[in-house]
Amino acid sequence: VEASIPEPQRAAWSRNQIQSFTDKDGFEKEVVRHVETTLARSMFNCDESAAYSATSLAFRDRLIKDWNKTQQRQTYRDTKRVYYLSLEFLMGRALDNAMLNVGLKDAAKGGLADLGFRIEDIIGQEHDAALGNGGLGRLAACFLDSLASLNYPAWGYGLRYRYGIFKQEIIDGYQVEVPDYWLDFNPWEFPRHDVTVDIQFFGHVSKTTKDDGKTAAIWEGGEIVQAVAYDVPIPGYDTPTTNNLRLWSSKASGGEFDFQKFNNGDYESSVAEQQRAETISAVLYPNDNLERGKELRLKQQYFWVAASLYDIVRRFKKSKRGWNEFADQVAIQLNDTHPTLAIVELQRILLDIEGLEWDVAWDIVTKTFGYTNHTVLPEALEKWPVGLVQYLLPRHLQIIYDINLYFLQTVEKAFPKDRDMLTRVSIIEESQPKMVRMAHLAIVGSHKVNGVAELHSDLIKTTIFKDFVEVYGPDKFTNVTNGITPRRWLHQANPRLSELIASKCGGNGFLKDLTQLNRLEAHAKDAAFRREWAEIKYANKVRLAKHIKNVTGVTVNPAALFDVQVKRIHEYKRQQLNIFGVIHRYLTLKGMSVEERKKQLPRVSVFGGKAAPGYWMAKQIIHLINAVGSVINKDEEIGDLLKVIFLEDYNVSKAEMICPASDLSEHISTAGTEASGTSNMKFVLNGGLIIGTCDGANIEITREIGESNIFLFGNLAEDVEDLRHAHNYGSHSIDSDLEKVFGTIESGTFGTPHDFSAMIAAVRHHGDYYLVSDDFHSYMETHRLVDESYRNQDEWVSKCITSVARMGFFSSDRCINEYADGIWNVEPLVVQE
């Protein structure tokens, strides 16, 4: 639709659109219609799967209306848009979220009941959209929810992986990976076979002389892969704004070349070529906080970035504005360094295709991009061999070298004769082989760089990006502490608690202004309110206990303290510290008399999380947790006093069940390693307390909720370096309680000791990099405090209520508003009902 057509005309077309349902009866009619026509099935044998499909299709129709209206409005008003580029969007399920956001879940509940279904069972039919690894991908999903709910004109751009994060099975205590083929039936995506972009790889660069006598680069040859757009509607909560998530899928370009082969009877190789092209978007790399430098990964990055930029530039050009307005119309946020090639690609478009001067183009580029860093772990910082970039993207490598040249020239002026400074900040690492440092490129090509929690943002300024603070001054670097969407993580995951909160906060307003939770604070002292609160927590625990029984066969007591650690398995997150602590607790209980034991508090230790398939040590940790569980869970002397559960295939939809059922959750990373963490926020928001280190967002959570409402332990980030040094160069003695734990493992209590020897050796003999022994005593002491505190239920529940009341800061709405003000300079655009 051309932007020149006046809005009244558009509104008239809009009014003529088909009406979708607004109540229970209307919903039922739509479900029946979809079952009998769209699905071509009959209501006589409509099972839960068909009911899920039809319900989704009915809600999808609802979303489409608002989606069209939003896109039309945004095009017509032509205000600045935000583009969030992320290789991962960990969306989870869409149906429940759509029902709540459009405010028709009750209608659907009633309608489904009339048709003989329970809404929970129908919701449970949906396969998670698991296009992400962990925190980074889930953050992108929370951001999309907030952007739409706050009416920001925003698009997400990502890859449509055929296989998302693998499904985890636990077999004999070991992780087994099963492919996650999730696209079988996906009503939430719309293929746009008319929106395609040809993406070039390989080839060579030649120079030509233009009419004006200047030389220009031409990138030619190589191969073309086609990007096809798939759009996913992103409904805001309680607003018609419905934004777009565009995911690119790869296929062979299908040019004449293919036909030639086909006609020559070379059918096989033409199919093989098709498959090679489709490989690009076939699978999500399953590493969290690790980069392995695979060629296909770089291909994925360029494919996605080039298609997205082509799309963004195409949309900008429709407005017929001059290039000088580009950065006033377009803000692009780089979710970590994965999309950093977008910087180079935009410079290439402006220079080689649009014919702008280098400086003019570069000014536009740097005003357009913002870069978010999510980790300081060196093994996660992206570097690509210069030779690989040269081979895959020859023109881009030239541009990278030019960017670096001009950058180093300005550095040299400011720091004359400081060769070391130049070496340190260079985009090219002069190693063997030479490498392109993507974080340096991202910093140089962006106007703002942000970390994701205060400690993390301080750390990047004083460690990995220290030199860049000297070069650019401190204002280029900023902090935006992460947040989570209270719609999914409170209202959807914990409907009863959400309702109880609404009854004390003057309605559902807190869901869009989470600071209103502070109205709860006064009720922490109200005994009747505390009882209701505790009753809801108990019911959530009963639900989790049933799930545990179903999937593991182990009976757990819902009255026990549920102690939960669910997140990707990683040495820096220290699940090993947790399981060593569990073993210590077991030994302590075993050493007690029967009378003494009777006085102890029952506990259930719940673990969940995936190990990257190539991360051997993480897999050892999973094996130890399962081995410990299988011994303790059948020890009749111990009974209910201690159970150890490993829940397989932890994902977003399971998190929605687990978070509301936790009494205590563990966020125990070595200080200075977890950039933010976001599940810490989810657990507190659901009325659980935290045991944690002074790391990531734990520090700000403590500041908000108060020191007396969190169980902090362990060494501080500032002391980590010295401790590590002491381990390696001094004498390193292991905590005596931890030694007892090691002794028990080595005696064969949990199976073949050799299976776990590497985990023990990492602490004893390999420098204990993650400070497990240094923090063990303080960790165990703090768990004793937890037990003591939990005995006084009145006080415990008060702490939980007070904490929730003070969690307003951690909404992703606050976070998105900070990005909008401080980095993107965009305003909301309200779509009329």
Which region, judged by CB under 6 A, interacts with ligand Z2T, from 171-179, 214-222, 615-623, 671-679?
A: 671-679
| 677 touches ligand Z2T (CB under 6 A) | yes
Which region, judged by CB under 6 A, interacts with ligand Z2T, from 130-138, 361-369, 620-628, 762-770?
A: 130-138
567 given a catalytic annotation: yes
Answer yes or no: are the C-beta atoms of 644 and 586 closer than 8 Å. no
Looking at residue 450, its amino acid is: N
Which of 83-101 are b and which e, b meaning 16 or more Cβ less than 10 Å from the residue's Cβ?
A: bbbbbbbbbbbbbbbbbbb
Closer to ligand Z2T by CB, 136 or 556: give it.
136
Residues in region 21-50 near ligand Z2T by CB under 6 A: none
Calculate the dihedral angle through the C-alpha atoms of 316, 322, 323, 329, rounding to the nearest 10 degrees.
-50
| 133 touches ligand Z2T (CB under 6 A) | yes
* Residue nearest ligand Z2T by beta-carbon distance: 135
167 given a catalytic annotation: no
Closer to ligand Z2T by CB, 289 or 620: give it.
289
CA proximity to 772, closest of 574, 633, 634: 574
| 609 touches ligand Z2T (CB under 6 A) | no
Q: Shortest Cβ distance from residue 618 to ligand Z2T (Å)?
A: 14
Determine if the peptide bond prior to 179 is cis (ω within 30°).
no
Other beta carbons within 10 angstroms of residue 409's beta carbon come to: 10
Which region, judged by CB under 6 A, interacts with ligand Z2T, from 9-17, 132-140, 230-238, 621-629?
A: 132-140
- Provide CB contacts within 8 A for 263, sequence distance 6+: none
463 given a catalytic annotation: no
Q: Shortest Cβ distance from residue 394 to ligand Z2T (Å)?
A: 27
Q: Shortest Cβ distance from residue 812 to ligand Z2T (Å)?
A: 11
Q: Shortest Cβ distance from residue 416 to ligand Z2T (Å)?
A: 35
| 674 touches ligand Z2T (CB under 6 A) | yes
- Provide CB contacts within 8 A for 506, sequence distance 6+: 516, 519
Q: d(Cα 467, Cα 424) in Å, to the nearest integer?
A: 8
34 given a catalytic annotation: no
Closer to ligand Z2T by CB, 479 or 516: give it.
479
Q: Shortest Cβ distance from residue 483 to ligand Z2T (Å)?
A: 10
| 240 touches ligand Z2T (CB under 6 A) | no
Closer to ligand Z2T by CB, 590 or 814: give it.
814
Question: Which of 56, 196, 375, 450 touches ligand Z2T by CB under 6 A?
Answer: 375
10 Å CB burial of residue 495 (0-12, 13-18, 19+) is middle
| 139 touches ligand Z2T (CB under 6 A) | yes
Answer yes or no: are the C-beta atoms of 308 and 342 closer than 8 Å. yes
Which region, judged by CB under 6 A, interacts with ligand Z2T, from 278-286, 670-678, 767-775, 799-807?
A: 670-678
Tell me the Ramachandran region of residue 802: left when phi exceeds 0, alpha when psi lies from -120 to 50, beta otherwise.
alpha
Q: Shortest Cβ distance from residue 136 to ligand Z2T (Å)?
A: 3
Q: Shortest Cβ distance from residue 295 to ligand Z2T (Å)?
A: 19
Q: Shortest Cβ distance from residue 289 to ligand Z2T (Å)?
A: 5
Q: Binding residues for ligand Z2T, how many (CB under 6 A)?
A: 19
693 given a catalytic annotation: no
Q: Shortest Cβ distance from residue 568 to ligand Z2T (Å)?
A: 7
Q: Shortest Cβ distance from residue 252 to ligand Z2T (Å)?
A: 30
| 452 touches ligand Z2T (CB under 6 A) | yes
Question: Which of 144, 579, 618, 675 touches ligand Z2T by CB under 6 A?
Answer: 675
Closer to ligand Z2T by CB, 350 or 675: give it.
675
Q: Which of 573, 603, 667, 783 is catalytic?
A: 573
Question: Which of 289, 333, 576, 803 touches ligand Z2T by CB under 6 A?
Answer: 289
Q: Shortest Cβ distance from residue 86 to ligand Z2T (Å)?
A: 10
Q: Which of 368, 678, 693, 744 is catalytic?
A: 678
Question: Helix H segments across 319-392?
Answer: 326-329, 341-348, 358-368, 386-392
Within the chain, how many helices (H) and strands (E) appear? 34, 24
How far, in Å, are 165, 564, 578, 683, 684 from residue 677 at the CA level? 19, 15, 17, 11, 12
10 Å CB burial of residue 268 (0-12, 13-18, 19+) is exposed
Q: d(Cα 747, Cα 745) in Å, to the nearest integer?
A: 5
Three-class SS state of 91:
strand
How far, in Å, are 103, 457, 641 from residue 701 at the CA level? 31, 16, 30
Closer to ligand Z2T by CB, 404 or 482: give it.
482
Q: Which of 374, 448, 461, 537 is catalytic?
A: 374
Q: Which of 246, 567, 610, 799 is catalytic?
A: 567
Question: Helix H segments across 558-660?
Answer: 575-590, 594-598, 616-632, 652-658
Question: Which of 249, 308, 676, 773 touches ligand Z2T by CB under 6 A?
Answer: 676
Question: Which of 136, 309, 428, 772 touches ligand Z2T by CB under 6 A?
Answer: 136
Calculate the dihedral angle through the C-alpha atoms of 157, 245, 674, 757, rounding to the nearest 10 degrees.
-90
| 482 touches ligand Z2T (CB under 6 A) | yes
How far, in Å, are 320, 327, 357 from residue 364 at the CA level? 17, 6, 11
Other beta carbons within 10 angstroms of residue 676's beta carbon come to: 27
Closer to ligand Z2T by CB, 608 or 696: give it.
696
SS3 content of the chain, % helix, strand, coil (to 5): 55, 15, 30
| 374 touches ligand Z2T (CB under 6 A) | yes
Question: Which of 30, 112, 126, 134 touches ligand Z2T by CB under 6 A?
Answer: 134
Question: Which of 540, 626, 678, 693 touches ligand Z2T by CB under 6 A?
Answer: 678
- Checking DSSP bridges between strand 242-252 and strand 223-235, what pairing results, if any? antiparallel
Answer yes or no: are the C-beta atoms of 335 and 87 closer than 8 Å. yes
| 288 touches ligand Z2T (CB under 6 A) | yes
Q: Shortest Cβ distance from residue 569 to ligand Z2T (Å)?
A: 13
Which region, judged by CB under 6 A, interacts with ligand Z2T, from 25-33, 372-380, 518-526, 771-779?
A: 372-380
Contact flags string 695-724 toward ligand Z2T, x per CB under 6 A: -x----------------------------
Closer to ligand Z2T by CB, 63 or 140: give it.
140
Three-class SS state of 449:
strand
Q: What is the DSSP letter of 128?
A: P
Question: Which of 126, 336, 563, 663 touches ligand Z2T by CB under 6 A?
Answer: 336
Taking the alpha carbons of 301, 306, 308, 309 in that order, is the dihedral positive or negative?
A: positive
Closer to ligand Z2T by CB, 335 or 368: give it.
335
Which region, judged by CB under 6 A, interacts with ligand Z2T, from 133-141, 248-256, 362-370, 814-822?
A: 133-141
| 483 touches ligand Z2T (CB under 6 A) | no
590 given a catalytic annotation: no
Question: Which of 111, 135, 609, 672 touches ligand Z2T by CB under 6 A?
Answer: 135
CA proximity to 296, closest of 344, 573, 304, 575: 304
State which H helix or E strand residue 451 sits in.
strand 448-451
CA proximity to 482, closest of 90, 128, 829, 137: 137
Q: d(Cα 625, Cα 632) in Å, to the nearest integer?
A: 11
Q: Which of 456, 488, 512, 568 is catalytic?
A: 568
Q: Shortest Cβ distance from residue 575 to ligand Z2T (Å)?
A: 14
| Strands (E) located in 374-447 | 383-385, 428-429, 435-437
Q: d(Cα 3, Cα 394) in Å, to the nearest integer?
A: 38
User: Which positions are annotated as active-site residues?
Assistant: 374, 567-568, 573, 678, 682
Applying CB under 6 A, which residues contact ligand Z2T? 133-136, 139, 288-289, 336, 374-375, 380, 452, 482, 674-678, 696
